[in-house]
Structure 1
Amino acid sequence: MWHWPIDPKDVPKIKVEPPGPKALDVVKRDEKLIMQSFGRWYPLVIRAGYGPVVEDVDGNLYIDMNAGIAVMGVGHSHPRIVKAIKEQSELFTHYSLTDFYYDVAVKHAEELIGITPISGEKRVFYTNSGTESIEGSLKISRGHFQNQRPYVIAFLGAFHGRTYGSMSLTASKPVQRRGFNPITPNVIHVPYPYPYRCPFGNLDEAACGDAVIGYMEDWIFGKLVDPSEVAAVFFEPIQGEGGYVVPPRNFFPKLRSLADKHGFLLVDDEVQAGFGRTGKWMAIEHWGVEPDLIATAKAIAAGLPLGAIIGRSKVMDLPKGSHANTFGGNPVALAAGIEVINVIKDEGLLENASRVGEFIRNRFREEMDSIDLIGDVRGLGLMIGVELVRDRKTKEYAKKEIEEVLMGSFKRGVAVISSGYSTIRIAPPLNLPMELAEKAVNVIIDVLRKVDRERVK
């Protein structure tokens, strides 16, 4: 499974204390030339990638525990992906799938439909990104009902994107919406069943899930909007930006029953959780529930811009001319996407994600007795959240401490980021070997111990 010209024994390797002089030069030029409407985690300036390893411009090697924000599921520069890209590039690089036809799109759609956990006839619509997949899903949901159901429901803590429709569904952090009103109307937000911080009080997991369903039935449908006017509920099977939150086992089956009762659609945002991240092709498979639409992107094409909406054929029924784009279904990205699916199958990456992920979760749980900062460890496969708190009784977010942990890990050659307010977000490439997983976790734990000691001095 190791295809790259470096030895895992040599990683991590810090030759120059980061950020080195070359990195600082790039950062300075970047700040002058590029709009700074986003925040970087730390000054990591990438020169190259090798599977689950990245190299910066100063020659430092880092274990990549974020995979380019859960994008590089099959690792950086996988030779099979590179070969597929080269071969398709030599044929043609674009011809607008929504205006003409090409075979690579049909081949990819066949492969994609084959791994999609929705029964019956399915169709695909190609996009360029996660937010565009959500925008398209929003149009499909309302268009399917010919706008007779104008409302949609999303969850507090959700992140679905930053363009106007997706931003209107997003409820992760106020800064993502502040200053951009008016947003898309008729979006209702309800609490998400966050077991560690149940919005309905100190309930166990099952009761927390029941409380959310009850809130929707009794308060949203009982007092705010008739369910016959709701087109869809949008959800992440595991909340991403919200803190890598895994809902209770009972939640999605009951949400499916609620949708069936009232006739609205379930739209599953698998942009971050899909394509093997959790040890299943799509994370919703862990709950044994079929959504009506699935929005994907990120890991679908190994870093090339591609997204897709996969759904029941009877729902994917927008009239001709009502929805299209220029670059969705780019042939080079599709060729890479076919090989992504093949690599995951051939190299047993679903199994590796489950095995290595279980090891990582267990290691952090073992440290909870000795590191008071660790409040909760959760996740599925290689989608793992380690939530840090300043006090386990109050569960106060450890906002300052999480920054110190991320920076300290970076300085020692582990690239890891956070989600929510103070959750370490662990989402490495699915082909992370156990050897590098052990090294990365040991570094993060050592830094956690140091930060934990220093905060109580």
Structure 2
Amino acid sequence: MKSYIGPKAILEKKKKYIMPCLAHFFQDPPEFVKGSMQYLFDTEGKKYLDCFAGVSVINCGHCNPEITQKVVEQVQSLQHVCNIYLTENFVNLAEKLAEVTPGKLQKSFFCSTGSEANEGALLLATIYTKSSEFIALRNGLHGRTKLGMSVTGIGMWRTDPNPCGGISFAPNPYCYRCPLGKKYPECDLECANQIEDIIKTATSGNPAAFIAESIQGNAGIVVPPKGYFKRVKEILEKYNTLLIIDEVQTGFARTGKMFAIENFDVEPDIMTMAKALGNGAPISAFIASAKIADTYTRPGASTLGGNPVSSAAGLAVLSYIEEHNLLQNAYDRGVQLREGLAELAKKHPIIGDIRGLGLMNGAEFVHADKSPAFNELDEVLEEMKNRGFIIGKNGISRNVMAFQPPLVITEENINDVLNNLDDVLTNKKL
């Protein structure tokens, strides 16, 4: 039987050998050593229901046997030769992505992380438009690379002391805390309308692209109003500005659609994806229409992008989503979860807002004056962890309880987490 060094020794090594920018969840964190579909296990053998899925990565479940088998078969035959040589998996995966992505999106570039995919998408927009200006959303998160960090609108993640210039930020469609102090629908989507003012007053009049997450994950599961992206697209087309949609967290059945932007009936010009595409294997991509993609002609490659193993994982993920109808399960279990949270909100005033689509949902913790209740959330998450439930947190003030579980989660699992959350909130008188 394998022995483990345990949480305390890991924290000691982490402090000595890992850069201090990397934090960790929980005051008393466990060491996870095993995963099985929607469950995690620690060194003591304790079982946890994973309600965060590594931030929307493990959509098909931990160590999914069907996916793992195909990955192992590939590892045993060919692991890597770089994509400058001919292998089959990555072109088959690109073909499949062209089938499942919306509209005219057709040609892909594979890389390894969401940050790399977003950086590549911004580069492609610059090549196509011959402009280097961008518009992004306040409270958006697009990665840890130079340009990706520069278009990120969250202070805690925008850590580069000298971000790139030529970037303007538009108010995000956060209806619970509208940055413009308005109410939907009386606002007439003023947050979208302001993009035109930004183009006219803060840019040359021809920015390369507007980049946005379909649902802002780290901002606190901020879901735009239904007509938001349609209005945005109308404005962008008027100024020949591309729409880049970041589906790194929201992609691959998470919201009950293959990609979250499909909930808003809008076709992106460029789209990025990562996380759940590999179900734990490092893979990402950006995809565009042939018209846009075909302008990227100067040499470009990613050493590990589209490698045979990660591409095998991606193909297995897409097959599993389809064969096991994860789109429907994400939709059904998401409805169940939001309805249950709404009932809890009637009993527990600490829950100020509930929002989400499919199995990407947030419950915002607030005080009576609507100020963020982040300390209370931390206490609740710690107790839920002690009871065997791993739930995430996000939001600008880190006061949003985030549910992004594996899409194989069951009706019974949702009832269990809701019942335990009710009990914890009752015991803490929240």
Q: Verify same fold: TM over 0.5.
A: yes
1:293 is displaced (CA, Å) by: 0.7
Query: Which of residues 88, 94, 99 is equivalent to 1:109?
Result: 94
In 2, the alpha carbon distance for the partners of 1:403 and 1:380 equals 24
1:369 is displaced (CA, Å) by: 1.8
Encode CA deviations 1:310-359: one digit per residue, 9 max, x unaligned.
11111113444443221111110100110100101011111000001100
1:399 is displaced (CA, Å) by: 1.4
Matched, 1:131 2:86: no
- Equivalent residue letter for 1:122: Q
Displacement over 4 Å in runs of 4+:
none
Mapped contact 2:52–2:390 kept (Cα < 8 A): yes
Matched, 1:63 2:49: yes
Mapped contact 1:256–1:289 kept (Cα < 8 A): yes
Q: TM-score, normalised by structure 2?
A: 0.95
In 1, the alpha carbon distance for the partners of 2:227 and 2:346 equals 29
| Equivalence for 1:165 | 147
CA 1:118–1:452 in structure 2 vs 1: closer, same or farther (change >3 Å)? farther
Matched, 1:175 2:156: yes
2:292 partner SS = coil
Encode CA deviations 1:161-204: one digit per residue, 9 max, x unaligned.
111111001112x23224x2221221111111111111111412
Q: TM-score, normalised by structure 1?
A: 0.90
Mapped contact 2:195–2:235 kept (Cα < 8 A): no
Mapped contact 1:378–1:385 kept (Cα < 8 A): yes
In 2, the alpha carbon distance for the partners of 1:200 and 1:185 equals 25
1:281 is displaced (CA, Å) by: 0.3
Query: Which of residues 419, 443, 457 is equivalent to 2:394?
Result: 419
Matched, 1:143 2:127: yes
1:375 partner SS = strand
Encode CA deviations 1:393-450: one digit per residue, 9 max, x unaligned.
x320111111111111111110011010211000000000111121122222322333
| Equivalence for 2:378 | 403
| Equivalence for 1:4 | none
1:396 partner SS = coil
- Equivalent residue letter for 2:385: F
1:27 is displaced (CA, Å) by: 2.7
1:33 is displaced (CA, Å) by: 2.5
**Alignment size in residue pairs:** 423
* 1:37-436 correspondence to structure 2 within 5 Å: 37-42=21-26, 43-97=29-83, 99-119=84-104, 122-145=106-129, 147=130, 149-172=131-154, 174-178=155-159, 180-204=160-184, 206-208=185-187, 210-218=189-197, 220-228=198-206, 230-391=207-368, 394-420=369-395, 421=397, 422-436=399-413
Q: Which moved more, 1:21-30 or 1:408-417?
A: 21-30
- Equivalent residue letter for 2:353: D
- Equivalent residue letter for 2:111: T
| Equivalence for 1:29 | 13
2:59 partner SS = coil
Encode CA deviations 1:10-49: one digit per residue, 9 max, x unaligned.
xxxxxxxxxx983333333333222231211121311000
Unmatched segments (≥5 aa) in structure 2: none
Mapped contact 2:124–2:296 kept (Cα < 8 A): no
2:69 partner SS = helix
Q: Which moved more, 1:253-262 or 1:288-297?
A: 253-262
2:361 partner SS = strand
1:258 is displaced (CA, Å) by: 1.0
In 2, the alpha carbon distance for the partners of 1:452 and 1:309 equals 47
CA 1:188–1:369 in structure 2 vs 1: closer, same or farther (change >3 Å)? same
CA 1:318–1:96 in structure 2 vs 1: closer, same or farther (change >3 Å)? farther
Encode CA deviations 1:105-159: one digit per residue, 9 max, x unaligned.
111111111110123x6100001010000000010010112x3x22100000101
RMSD across aligned positions (CA): 1.5
Q: Which moved more, 1:253-262 or 1:34-43?
A: 34-43
In 1, the alpha carbon distance for the partners of 2:256 and 2:208 equals 30
Unmatched segments (≥5 aa) in structure 1: 1-19
Mapped contact 1:193–1:209 kept (Cα < 8 A): no
2:319 partner SS = helix
CA 1:67–1:267 in structure 2 vs 1: closer, same or farther (change >3 Å)? same
In 2, the alpha carbon distance for the partners of 1:82 and 1:23 equals 27
